[in-house]
Amino acid sequence: MDKIRAYLDERLGLEGLLEFMSHKKVPIHRHSFWYYWGGITLICFIVQILTGILLLVYYRPGQGAYESVRSITYDINFGWLIRSAHNWSASLFLFSAFTHMFSVYFMKAYRAPRELGWWSGMILLALGMLFGFSGYLLPMDDLAASATKVGMAMLDILPKVGPWAADLMRGGVTVGDPTVQRFFALHVVVLPMIFMPLLGFHLWLVQKHGNAVPPSEYDTPVEERKSVPFFPNFMIKDLAMWLIALNVIAMLASLFPFQLGEQADPLKPAPPGIHPEWYFMSAFQVLKIVGKIIPGTPGEVVGMGGFTLGLILWVLIPLYDGKTESGVKARNAHYFGLLALGVLIITTIWGYAAL
Amino acid sequence: MNYPVWEVPGIGTPWVIGCIAIFHVMISHFAVGGGCYLAIAMRKALKENRRDWLPLLHSHSKFFLLITGVFGTVSGVGIWFAIGLVNPGATSALIHNFVFGWAIEWLFFLVEVSSIVVFYYAWGRISDKLHLQVAYLYAVSSILTLVIINGILTFMLTPGHTWLEHASDRNLPAYFWYAFFNPTYFPSLFMRMLAMMSLAGVWALVSYSRLEQSATRDQLIRWSVTWLIPAFLLMPVVFFWYQHQIPASNWHLTQLGMATIGAGTFTQITRIALLSIMATSTIAAIAYFFAYKSPKDFTTGHALSLLFIALMATASTEYAREAIRKPFVIGSYMYSNGVRVKDVAAYRTDGYIAHSAWAPSVSSKGVKYEEGRFLFRGECMSCHTINGYRSMKHLLGDRDDKAIGNILTMLKENKPDSPYHAFMPPLATSDEETDALKYYLLSLNHKLPKNPNAPIPTPETAKSAVKVAHS
């Protein structure tokens, strides 16, 4: 064993790597629970990759899309399991990414020197949602095709670039086989190619700067703050969380497997109750509400504009609350966070209630 | 059918038993395994002079007494109550066969409960030797309760050829031992014993995790983990033996869900069996890495998670075990809807209603809707509900008269290649009754007059129709 270790160390510099990993200390305090959510997001992503590769074995984009997913779900041994695990882990991935984002926000972990971590995380989340949006269409059943049409119609609203981008993604003026082909390329090649290096960068930043302590710990003198080394102590706990996440995914996939709707038919009217996946529900509902207050295009522009503005403010938070101080700015940022979380939860529930 | 039907909307009657039984299994297995655990732990503490173990064991035995003595006994009686209401026909068949077995069971149970009370309250008041003897008495009597009940439980899956050949005899008790030591008796006994040992370990971990840090706590946590080892080593072997004893058609049910998740194809059993495997592997990982490797860091949260996963494993295994018995409630003797195999032919000629003691009153005879509803309650409701679990409304969807008729014909013909053959009882109704049942099923999703051919109702007929509706 020692010989192998020495051999690898000489060639790969393992000691250095272990040294790098052991630098990081994880603070222990009453909010430590929130540190797990980044790791949970990561394991969900790993499950996504593994199940995604397995789905690639049988999935056919384009014309045969629906038939191939039908066969995965109803013919191929354990195909339903892989597909359901892929869907459920996607939802869990986004849920934990949102939780991770809000915990970072409220612990003010975006403050210097961790701004790049916040921004890279925001891009990863946006990519994650794009993964979800593009993946949703791939089975090409009626609900997926109709919901994608609605999503594309939202893109159409954007001035100038909107219609152009929507046509580019659709591969025409309507959602059809060319759209599936394009979404497929986006889902399995383009997005992973951008996502993976960025994820590596994000993880490297976390390793480099370690976990941030929340403002509630600022008053404790540094020497009195408790912490455990990330490797191996915290990693074992992280792995336990991974095990729980895996169990949750397995349980959901087994007990509530995803069925498949009717094949999408452009000639048929849209099925009743079209709605996006839950992570787009809030945006969908906000646009619906604004649309009711200000009907027509102006309403759409106001809705999308308001949304974009809120998002920009959210992303730029490190710029106006970037230093370790508690004052008006910090408090305002906190209230802004609570408002965003409140709006997100309420409009999501409202969206489902209004279906 | 000699009994009225108990209707539970939403979850349906099987889940009434299910909820009580899963809870009871967790505790009753602890009661048996935990009894052995206490006796062996005590013997080890006394023999190896580890007297520091004793206060912790005392604390554990209080936990044990409360959990098993209160929740175990209450839920055990609850099962009795529930099975009598849910499937009175099957309960009656069991009583006719095993009345002697149950008498002994209650005797052992009495010894078990008394000895654990003595064991706990005599702590420190009697000599070590006598105390240990009480522990042994508890352990032995609790194992004997398993020895008895296991015969009755396994009988329901595999009654065995000899018993089945004589099942229609009046002199059933003469075949008691054939029914008792049926083909799955021994593998099931060993499987349960292994599960009991593991659960004793898991519950002990919950008990110790609440205690203050000490070297003794660490020792006992590590020792409790070793109680899980026999199950992980031997369970696959014993399970293979068990599977070998089950008729192939029953085993086949576990594989229905490999390829598909189509509605109404009884595929959930495969999915739930998978959960059982997943949960069991997780238990092994948590027990080893979190309890055995670092007993100091083992918290109540960890222990409760372990218990929760053990509950998941137990629930899914028990569900699968119950489900592979389909389409029977007592293998090859009585279908899950309480219809005896030998009665099917008579029900088809004379009609199910003619053989039912609780049939609709004369005035609603010939009222298709009411008759259909009665047949649904008698022949379908032991597994299906209207709106909730295995909902007929959902399963039938927008099927029309003809489509529902085809399904009923398929159920009646019950050909071996029918998709329902493996898990649904054959429909035991006369032709007119089948038509009435079809009408009722159609009415679930379509607006139909409740009484298409009936004369204008008189106060008398209306009253009896209401009476039937409430029976």
Q: What is the mean pLDDT of residues B375-396?
A: 92
State how far the Cα of B353 lies from the Cα of B336, in Å rounded to an integer. 18
Determine the average pLDDT of the residues in A43-58. 97
Across B193-219, average pLDDT = 94
Smallest CA-to-CA distance from B274 within B289, B258, B293 is with B258
Q: Indicate whether A52 and A188 sit together in one domain.
A: yes
- CA atoms of B29 and B35, how far apart (whole Å): 10
Whether residue B232 is predicted with pLDDT greater than 60 in this model: the reply is yes
Q: If you average pLDDT over residues B277-295, what whole number do you get? A: 90
Min mean pLDDT across A204-213, A251-260, B51-60, B109-118 is at A204-213
Q: Say yes or no for a CB contact (<8 Å) between A74 and B262.
A: yes
Residue B419's pLDDT is 86
> Are residues A168 and A245 both part of a single domain?
yes
pLDDT tier, B292 (very low <50, low <70, confident <90, very high otherwise): very high
Residues of B whose CB is below 8 A from A78? 258-259
In terms of domains, do A250 and A101 share one? yes
Asked if B282's CB is within 8 angstroms of A80's CB, the reply is: no
Indicate the pLDDT class of residue A233, thresholds 50, 70 and 90: confident
> Could you tell me if B119 and B138 are in contact, meaning their C-beta atoms sit under 8 angstroms apart?
yes
Strands annotated E in B400-469 = none
Average pLDDT, stretch A286-315?
Answer: 86
Tell which residue, B325, B313, B261, has the closest CA to residue B287: B313
Q: Which residues of B touch A244 (CB under 8 A)?
A: 305
Of the listed ranges A9-18, B57-66, B319-328, the one predicted with least confidence: A9-18
At B66-104, the pLDDT tens digits run 999 999 999 999 999 999 999 999 999 999 889 989 999
Could you say which DSSP state residue B52 is in? T
Residue type, B95: I
Looking at residue B453, its pLDDT comes to: 59
Q: What CATH number is given for B341-470 in this structure?
A: 1.10.760
| Within-domain flag for A221 | no
Query: Are the Cβ atoms of A77 and B274 closer than 8 angstroms?
Result: no
Residue A129, pLDDT > 80, answer yes
A304 confidence band (pLDDT: 50, 70, 90):
confident
**A210-214, B112-116, B416-420, range with the lowest pLDDT:** A210-214
- Confidence check: pLDDT of B436 > 70: yes
Q: What is the pLDDT of residue A287?
A: 86
Q: With respect to residue A245, please indicate whether it lies within any of the assigned structural domains.
A: yes
In a domain, A320, yes or no: yes
When mean pLDDT is compared across A67-81, A301-315, B58-72, B75-89, the lowest value belongs to A301-315
Residue of chain B whose Cα is closest to the Cα of A243 = B282
Nearest by CB: B272 against A75, A236, A254:
A254
A165 and A266 part of one domain: yes
User: Is position A301 within any domain?
Assistant: yes
pTM for this prediction: 0.85
Whether A80 contacts chain B with CB within 8 A:
yes
- Asked whether residue A220 is assigned to any structural domain, the reply reads no
Q: Would A333 be classed as within a structural domain?
A: yes
Q: Mean pLDDT across the stretch A159-169?
A: 88
Shared-domain flag, residues A175 and A322: no
Residues B152/B98, Cβ–Cβ less than 8 Å:
yes
| pLDDT tier for residue B471 given thresholds of 50, 70 and 90 | very low
Nearest-by-Cβ selection for A257 from B258, B259, B261: B261
Residues A263 and A324 in one domain: no
Output the domain CATH number for residue A264.
1.20.810.10
pLDDT of residue B466: 46
Same domain? For A239 and A297 the reply is no
Q: Final residue of a domain: which of A218, A243, A274?
A: A274
Burial B35-54 (b: 16+ CB within 10 A, else e): bbbbbbbbeebbeeebeebb
Instruction: Kindly state whether A262 is in contact with chain B, defined as any CB-CB distance less than 8 angstroms.
Output: no
Nearest 5°: phi and psi at B4?
-75, 165
The average pLDDT across A347-352 equals 94
- Does A263 share its domain with A289? no
In chain B, pLDDT over 90 holds for what percent of residues?
72
Range of weakest confidence among A153-162, A181-190, B335-344, B455-464:
B455-464
pLDDT band (50, 70, 90) for residue A347: very high
Geometric angle at alpha carbon B410, from B341 and B355, rounded to 5°: 40
Residue A261: closest C-alpha in chain B: B262
Is the same domain home to A145 and A174? yes
**Residue B223: pLDDT band with limits 50, 70, 90:** very high
Mean pLDDT over A145-159 rounds to 86
Q: What is the arithmetic mean of pLDDT over B330-357?
A: 93
pLDDT at residue A240 in the model: 85
> What would the two tokens of residue B242 be?
């068990």
Q: Over range A81-89, report the average pLDDT.
A: 97
Query: Which domain does A95 fall in, by range?
Result: 33-207+229-274
Whether chain B has a CB inside 8 Å of the CB on A236: the answer is yes
Count of other CB atoms within 10 angstroms of residue A318: 20
More confidently predicted of A213 and A98 = A98
pLDDT at residue B362, as a whole number:
58
Which residue among A74, A75, A247 sits closest to B279, beta carbon to beta carbon? A247
Domain count, chain A: 2
Q: pLDDT band at residue B459, thresholds of 50, 70 and 90?
A: very low
Q: What is the pLDDT of residue B455?
A: 45
What is the pLDDT, as a whole number, of residue B462? 45
Q: Which ranges of B158-175 does DSSP label H, i.e. alpha helix? A: 161-165
Say if residues B37 and B227 touch (Cβ distance below 8 Å): yes
The pLDDT of residue B167 is 78
Q: What is the pLDDT of residue B452?
A: 61
A254 and A327 part of one domain? no
Residues B149 and B188 sit within 8 Å (Cβ to Cβ): no
Let me know: does A90 contact B273? Beta carbons within 8 Å. no
Inter-chain residue contact B274 with A81, CB threshold 8 Å:
yes
Which amino acid does the sequence have at A177?
D
Q: Does A74 touch chain B (CB under 8 A)?
A: yes
The residue from A247, A274, A301 where one domain ends is: A274
Mean pLDDT of B366-377: 88
* pLDDT value at residue B363: 61
Q: What phi-psi label fits residue A323: left (phi over 0), alpha (psi between -120 and 50 degrees) or beta? A: beta
Largest separation between any pair of C-alpha atoms in chain B: 88
Residue with tokens 């297995």: B29
Which residue, among B258, B269, B271, would best test binding to A if mutated, counting the most A CBs under 10 Å from its CB? B271
pLDDT of residue B458: 46
Statement: residue B259 has pLDDT above 70: yes
- Looking at residue A295, its pLDDT comes to 84
Minimal Cβ distance to A243: which of B262, B274, B282: B282
- Across the range B394-403, mean pLDDT stands at 91
Task: Taking residues A240-264, report their average pLDDT.
Answer: 91
Q: Average pLDDT for residues A281-290, to the nearest whole number?
A: 88
Query: What pLDDT is stored for residue A299 in this prediction?
Result: 83
> In chain A, what are the helix, strand and coil shares in percent, each to the nearest 5?
75, 5, 20
Which of B417, B441, B415 is closest to B426 using CA atoms? B415
Residue ranges covered by each domain of chain B: 12-335, 341-470
Nearest CA to B404 among B267, B268, B266, B264?
Answer: B264
Residue numbers in B near A243 (CB within 8 A)? 282, 285-286
Q: Do A75 and B312 touch (CB under 8 A)?
A: no
Residue B454, pLDDT above cutoff 60: no
Percent of chain A past pLDDT 70, that is, above it, reads 99
Same domain, A251 and A350: no
| Contact residues on chain B for A240, CB-CB shorter than 8 A | 286, 289-290, 302
Domain-located, residue A218: no
Alpha carbon A324 to its chain's center: 28
Tell whether A10 is within 8 A of chain B (Cβ): no
The verdict on A342 and A296 lying in the same domain is: yes
What does the mean pLDDT of chain A come to?
A: 90
